[in-house]
Amino acid sequence: MSHPDYSLEQALHAQGHLRIAGVDEVGRGPIAGPVTAAAVILNPDAIPPGLNDSKKLTARRRETLDQLLRDSAEFAIAHASVAEIDEINILRASHLAMQRAVAALDPAPDFLLIDGNMIPAGLTLPSRAVIGGDARSVSISAASIMAKTRRDRMMVDLAQQHPGYGWERNAGYPTKSHKEALQNLGVTPHHRHSFKPVHNILYQEKYLSD
């Protein structure tokens, strides 16, 4: 099984790009909570071992790597809210979160490696979209890890305010128990109204009240 490495970054260094940020987002699939992005510039002399796509790592390993990255890398983490997701759609909201994370890096990077097949329209820096980037570039995998750990913590905090939906376990994804809780407990302010399981319940409630 292949692991991400620093070869994309090294090739860019050879072209004169010194501040290369990996950019990734998490949270496109959940029906609750924000979408979160991170932009990370690794220190080539202090790359934590074991970086990988955050989905391939245990929660404990992600937390360990997140702390190592906080100690060694430059990073910024940003979000797009549930209201923004419902207003402009999840793809554009995830791009907005990426733009915000990149904009928060100071000084700015001079090249971006972005996970996926699209470069967000609002990013004007030199960039490359890398399909499956979190399994190819350690900078992107670092962004994946930092975004996921931050978002997961946010969902644990929100779970304390809205118990019963299991957000501390499912991070807002539409698991069977989450959808059952949605039916039994109703829609919270942190649910995405434009997503089908939530939209259907809101429609049922409107239909019954009419």
Domains plus CATH for the chain?
7-209 (3.30.420.10)
Question: Taking a C-beta distance cutoff of 8 angstroms, is the pair 173, 31 a contact?
Answer: yes
Please tell me whether residue 24 adopts helix, strand or coil conformation.
strand
Pairing of strands 111-115, 20-26: parallel
Number of other residues whose CB lies within 10 A of the CB of residue 169: 13
148-186 pLDDT tens trace? 999 999 999 999 999 999 999 999 999 999 999 999 999
41-77 pLDDT tens trace? 999 999 999 999 999 999 999 999 999 999 999 999 9
53 marked ligand binding residue: no
205 marked ligand binding residue: no
116-145 pLDDT tens trace? 999 999 899 999 999 999 999 999 999 999
Question: Taking a C-beta distance cutoff of 8 angstroms, is the pair 113, 133 a contact?
Answer: yes
pLDDT value of position 205: 59
pLDDT higher than threshold 90 for residue 210: no
Identify the residue with better confidence: 204 or 190.
190
24 marked ligand binding residue: yes
Kindly report the length of the chain. Answer: 210
